[in-house]
């Protein structure tokens, strides 16, 4: 099994670099984040003559956009019956319609610019493997009918394992997300948009336009700011307190060559364990993308078990599976399962956010770009109330979040058996552990050569206790999903500062 965790998309794209910001400047709109949301927003703005600069802390599209299974669909699991019940038919329809339009927008961009990104029209299937899930699918079918969505309910399936029922929608799609993003980056540069990599944003100053975006490399004065950096990094009260309203969830993908006959379509089941399947076709033939193993970040005792679970599944149902790729992703989850797209804070005009895509980031990314570019260009975006970030009061969110967070923290304190410093040798090679030392904890990792690396295992975002990720050898935070490498450097936010390192004697 390949343990580099490089996705298929990263392995099959020729990347290019963009210079960091060099000096203070002005523009109309700064987009923070160079993933699918940021690049597509910049495209829609620059097409309409809006001066735009993209700032990316690392390299563009190395995070969620590079680690997706790249399905383009409005079928986001069994969501519509649930939405009809919780937010009503009108908002459920808004959710559907904006996602459906996002597929059309994406097709329009790809066709207009002849972008070679392996786009393939596909049906999307929700499938059930037991009677309880069949009931859920039947209710989902009723919701589709109620919302006017053409769909097909079937009791047969071409999947190579027992399926009791499935619900299909046609004219969905799949693509190579990095071929799309890098092609669009070339296009927007020609339209005058500038992309700066390795330019980390430290702060946004101002409560109304013009804003000052402060980076390590200089400042940009602008009329609008779009926060498209996955999880927002602000901890102050005036920026909407998103850390009370979102956590992060991990999922895993195997890229498998197999001698089983490939099938068309994109598939996902309903309840855990989740198994998502679709094929990617290239000059070597068909590569099965098998996704699943989902869990809240830092919630699973042994993350390697998620990869193992997928590997066992592939051996059970596919012939001669050969695993060519293994990678994982991390997604922002909102309290009600609906993304936050629009004005970031109700009292700051000109500051926008797109986040909380709940593992459906490709379609949600395109629709975010459309909504936010409409808001910037025309001042409104029709039928998008359902995504309004102002729908929760911070007090309610804090209450929900704290209850949820505490349950998980307690679980971990029981599971992680700290060992004393004298017993440092109990930290096995390739393993990380929390160790009690003088009434506090330190996080220790031991590498293959027997070297120890120790850090203060408290997240630099808001201080939660970290847990060692056994698969990727990182220190992960259950509260909002920040992740740090064994040296303490940030590899995923919202944390922006490294962990304190400890010298062991
Ligand atoms: Fe917020 Fe760790 S990510 S406390």
Domains along the chain with CATH numbers = 416-502 (2.102.10.10)
Question: Given this model, what pLDDT does residue 412 score?
Answer: 41
Question: Given this model, what pLDDT does residue 426 score?
Answer: 82
Gap between the Cα atoms of 17 and 191, Å rounded: 18
DSSP assigned state of 373: H
Cβ of residue 465 lying under 6 Å from some atom of ligand 1: no
Question: Given this model, what pLDDT does residue 415 score?
Answer: 42
Q: Which among 355, 457, 479, 496 is the best mutation to test ligand 1's pocket, defined by most ligand atoms within 8 Å of the CB?
A: 479
| Contact by Cβ (8 Å): 230, 491 | no
Question: Given this model, what pLDDT does residue 416 score?
Answer: 44
In tens digits, what is the pLDDT along the chain, a chain of 505 residues?
444 799 999 999 999 999 999 999 999 999 999 999 999 999 999 999 999 999 999 999 999 999 999 999 999 999 999 999 999 999 999 999 999 999 999 999 999 999 999 999 999 999 999 999 999 999 999 999 999 999 999 998 999 999 999 999 999 999 999 999 999 999 999 999 999 999 999 999 999 999 999 999 999 999 999 999 999 988 777 788 898 889 999 999 999 999 999 999 999 999 889 999 999 999 999 999 999 999 999 999 999 999 999 999 999 999 999 999 999 999 999 999 999 999 999 889 999 999 999 999 999 999 999 999 999 999 999 888 999 999 865 555 555 555 454 444 444 443 444 556 666 878 999 999 998 887 788 999 999 998 999 999 999 999 999 999 999 999 999 999 999 999 999 999 999 899 999 887 6
Question: Given this model, what pLDDT does residue 403 score?
Answer: 45
Report the nearest-CA residue for atom 4 of ligand 1: 462
Q: Which ligand 1 atom sits closest to the C-alpha of 466?
A: 2
Name 330's Cβ contacts closer than 8 Å, sequence gap at least 6: 63, 64, 67, 248, 249, 250, 251, 297, 481, 483, 492
| Residue 101 backbone zone (phi > 0: left; psi -120 to 50: alpha; other: beta) | alpha
Q: Tell me the Cα Rg of the chain.
A: 23
Q: Which among 249, 332, 398, 459 is the best mutation to test ligand 1's pocket, defined by most ligand atoms within 8 Å of the CB?
A: 459
Gap between the Cα atoms of 37 and 107, Å rounded: 16
Report the nearest-CA residue for atom 3 of ligand 1: 480
What stretches of 354-488 show up as alpha helix (H) in DSSP? Answer: 361-378, 394-415
Question: Given this model, what pLDDT does residue 410 score?
Answer: 44
Gap between the Cα atoms of 248 and 301, Å rounded: 16
Is the dihedral angle over the CA atoms 300, 358, 339, 83 positive or is it negative? Answer: negative
- How far are the Cα atoms of 142, 433, 461 from residue 444, in angstroms, in the given order? 53, 5, 20
Angle at 187 between CA 184 and CA 188, to 5 degrees: 90
CA of 116 to the centre of ligand 1 (A): 39
Q: Which ligand 1 atom sits closest to the C-alpha of 248?
A: 3
Gap between the Cα atoms of 330 and 324, Å rounded: 21
Cβ of residue 232 lying under 6 Å from some atom of ligand 1: no
């Amino acid at each position: 099994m390949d343990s580099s965790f490089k996705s298929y998309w990263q392995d099959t794209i020729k990347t290019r670099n963009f210079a960091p910001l060099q000096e203070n400047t002005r523009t109309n709109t700064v987009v923070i984040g160079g993933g699918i949301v940021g690049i597509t927003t910049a495209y829609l703005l620059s097409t309409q003559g809006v001066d735009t600069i993209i700032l990316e802390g690392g390299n563009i599209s190395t995070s969620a956009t590079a680690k997706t299974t790249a399905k383009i669909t409005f079928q986001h699991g069994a969501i519509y019956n649930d939405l009809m019940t919780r937010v009503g038919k009108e908002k459920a329809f808004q959710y559907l319609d904006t996602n459906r339009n996002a597929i059309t927008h994406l097709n329009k961009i790809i066709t207009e610019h002849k972008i070679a990104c392996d786009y393939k029209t596909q049906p999307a299937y929700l499938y059930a493997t037991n009677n309880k899930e069949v009931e859920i699918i039947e209710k989902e079918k009723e919701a589709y009918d109620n919302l006017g969505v053409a769909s097909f309910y079937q009791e047969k399936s071409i999947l190579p394992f027992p399926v009791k029922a499935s619900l299909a929608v046609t004219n969905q799609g799949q693509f190579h997300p990095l071929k799309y993003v890098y092609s669009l980056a070339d296009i927007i540069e020609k339209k005058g948009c500038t992309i700066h990599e390795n330019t980390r944003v430290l702060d946004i100053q101002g409560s109304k336009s013009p804003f000052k975006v402060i980076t390590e490399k200089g400042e940009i004065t602008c009329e609008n700011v779009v926060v498209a950096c996955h999880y927002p990094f602000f901890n102050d009260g005036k920026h909407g307190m998103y850390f009370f309203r979102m956590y992060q969830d991990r999922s895993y993908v195997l890229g498998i060559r197999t001698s089983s006959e490939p099938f068309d379509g994109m598939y996902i089941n309903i309840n855990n364990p989740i198994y998502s399947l679709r094929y990617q076709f290239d000059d070597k033939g068909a590569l099965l993308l098998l996704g699943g193993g989902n869990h809240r970040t830092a919630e699973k005792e042994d993350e390697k078990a998620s990869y193992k679970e997928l590997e066992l599944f592939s051996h059970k149902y596919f012939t001669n599976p050969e695993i060519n790729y293994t990678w994982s992703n991390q997604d922002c989850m909102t309290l009600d399962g609906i993304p936050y797209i629009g004005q970031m804070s109700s009292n700051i005009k000109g500051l926008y956010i797109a986040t909380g895509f709940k593992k459906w980031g490709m379609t949600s990314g395109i629709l975010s770009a459309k909504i936010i570019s409409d808001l910037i260009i025309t001042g409104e975006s029709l039928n998008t109330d359902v995504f309004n970030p102002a729908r929760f009061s911070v007090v309610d969110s804090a209450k929900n979040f704290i209850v949820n967070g505490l349950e998980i923290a307690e679980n971990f304190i029981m599971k992680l058996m700290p060992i004393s410093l004298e017993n440092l040798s109990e930290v096995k090679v390739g393993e990380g552990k929390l160790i009690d030392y003088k009434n506090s904890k330190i996080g220790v990792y031991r590498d293959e050569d027997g070297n120890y690396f120790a850090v203060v295992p408290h997240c630099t975002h808001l201080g939660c206790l970290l847990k060692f990720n056994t698969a990727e050898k990182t220190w992960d935070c259950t509260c909002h999903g920040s992740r740090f490498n064994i040296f303490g450097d940030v590899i995923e936010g919202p944390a922006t500062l490294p962990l304190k390192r400890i010298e062991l004697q």
